Amino acid sequence: MTITYWILAGPLAAVGFVLLQIGAITVHLTGGDGQVALNVVRVITAAATIRPAMSWL
């Protein structure tokens, strides 16, 4: 059975978004801006979607 790339698009997009938000938190904190609550919520939401995105594989 061949797995095509579009099957992995959902989980990879969620993982990529988690990494992007972790980078955004790092930039906010190194810049002296402590307002990272929205970024933390986005990390939690994106991380929570990784497993459901893989459940049908």
Sign of CA dihedral 18, 23, 25, 28: negative
1 pLDDT more than 60: no
What per-residue confidence (pLDDT) applies to 6? 72
The full set of domain ranges for the chain reads: 11-54
Give tens-digit pLDDT for 20-57. 999 999 999 999 888 899 999 999 999 998 888 777 66
What per-residue confidence (pLDDT) applies to 7? 75
18 pLDDT more than 90: yes
Q: Is 36 in contact with 29 (CB distance < 8 Å)?
A: yes
Q: What is the pTM of this model?
A: 0.78
User: If we measure between CA atoms, which residue out of 18, 19, 26, 10 comes closest to residue 42?
Assistant: 18
